[in-house]
Amino acid sequence: MRVSSQDVTVVALLADPDAPTEIAQRMARMLPDRLADRSGPGRRFDVEVVSEPFTAGAEDLSTLTHRIMDRGSEGNWDIVVALTDLPLHSHGRKLVVDLSHEHGLALLSLPALGGFRLQTRARQAVEEAVLSLAGPQATGGPSGSRPLRGPFIGRLAPVRPGQVGEEEIADLRYVVSGPRGYLRVLLGMVRANRPWRLVPGLSKALAAALATGAVATVNSTIWSLATSLSTPRLVIAMVGSVALMIGWLIVDANLWHRTDEISPEARKRAALYNASTVVTVGIGVIVCYVGLVVINLVWALFILNGRVFASTTRTPLHAMEYWTLSWFVASVATVGGALGSGLESDEAIRAAAYSKREQERRSALQDDHGD
């Protein structure tokens, strides 16, 4: 890193590819002006975005910090703030941000900021980190470990100072803990995986589900079943089909995370990854199910004949019958989609279910197990 000159502080946002880079690029446009407004008179900031997979093959906090420090020494920057969508842990707590005032670096774990208003929270966290690292010229206060503040430390989960070991590079650390902290990190991981991409990513499964739904809608046996089933049974059919689809995708594509380590830390990390997988896949499947209900309803309105339906089921074809049939057919079609997902490659399912960094992490783990 270089020494600031002419009251200009050069800040590098070192971001993992995919979502962290997109977040860094968006905030880089407004950060210089915001930092200048909050710093001393005449102070200016230049912000550069560097997209590199600095977390590749590593989840250890010490290793990542050394990588950031080494990368910072190669660049012409005053401050390096690294952004990753990797959930990081320190002394049994989930890391939000690590700072080293001596080396002018910070490491921000985006999942710890939660799943909502991520862009705003990330910008606020980076602002606080940069102003803290910039020292008394920018903050108007004493140098050293200036406590972070700002609205990104909200009520959703307690963000508080964390323990820092004597041998570590960092001198200031913030973590989240407890059930609300776990929920916050989990939501952040799910958001990083972008579950809404699962639906278009499973083309073969969707084709199987749509074909099953189209055939089932004109099947007289399905008509009779739909009109005879009570609401609780329809709910059971819905929950069962969604659960089957989620379980099939996870098992068939080998999405369940297993660890060979026996430490409590490793087991907690594996449980967190598996929880994020279930929620990510679950959201995607539920979105798919709702879409099937709508498509089946439109198809039923177009294709069904009221007199044929009534003669078969002895029930007039009214709005409630359309809705009940579409709901039940969506459950049947979801089971068909689960079977159709077996035609998808494991790589296609992982690409639909996970962020790019998470895909790389799981591929590296599989390579290690293969060796």
DSSP code per residue over 59-93: --HHHHHHHHHHHHHHSS-SEEEEEESS--EETTE
Cα dihedral 36→38→41→43 (10° resolution): -30
Q: What is the pLDDT of residues 13-59, one digit of tens each?
A: 999 888 889 999 999 989 988 888 887 777 888 999 999 888 877 77
- What pLDDT is stored for residue 191 in this prediction? 85
- The sign of the dihedral angle between the CA atoms of 198, 204, 207, 212 is negative
Burial of 291: CB neighbours in 10 Å, binned 0-12, 13-18, 19+: middle
- 3-class DSSP state for residue 149? coil
- Summarize the confidence of residues 73-92 as an average pLDDT: 86
- pLDDT bin (cut points 50, 70, 90) of residue 151 is very low
- pLDDT bin (cut points 50, 70, 90) of residue 152 is very low
Checking if the pLDDT of 89 tops 70, the result is yes
Structure-token match 């177009």, residue found = 302
- Summarize the confidence of residues 336-361 as an average pLDDT: 66
Checking if the pLDDT of 365 tops 60, the result is no
- What pLDDT is stored for residue 223 in this prediction? 92
Checking if the pLDDT of 343 tops 50, the result is yes
- What pLDDT is stored for residue 257 in this prediction? 77
Checking if the pLDDT of 142 tops 50, the result is no
% residues pLDDT > 70 (the chain): 80
Lowest mean pLDDT of 26-30, 35-39, 148-152, 326-330, name the range.
Answer: 148-152
Helix (H) or strand (E) holding 217: helix 203-217
- What pLDDT is stored for residue 240 in this prediction? 95
One-letter amino acid at 23 equals I
Q: What is the pLDDT of residues 245-288, one digit of tens each?
A: 888 888 887 788 777 667 677 777 788 888 888 998 898 889 88
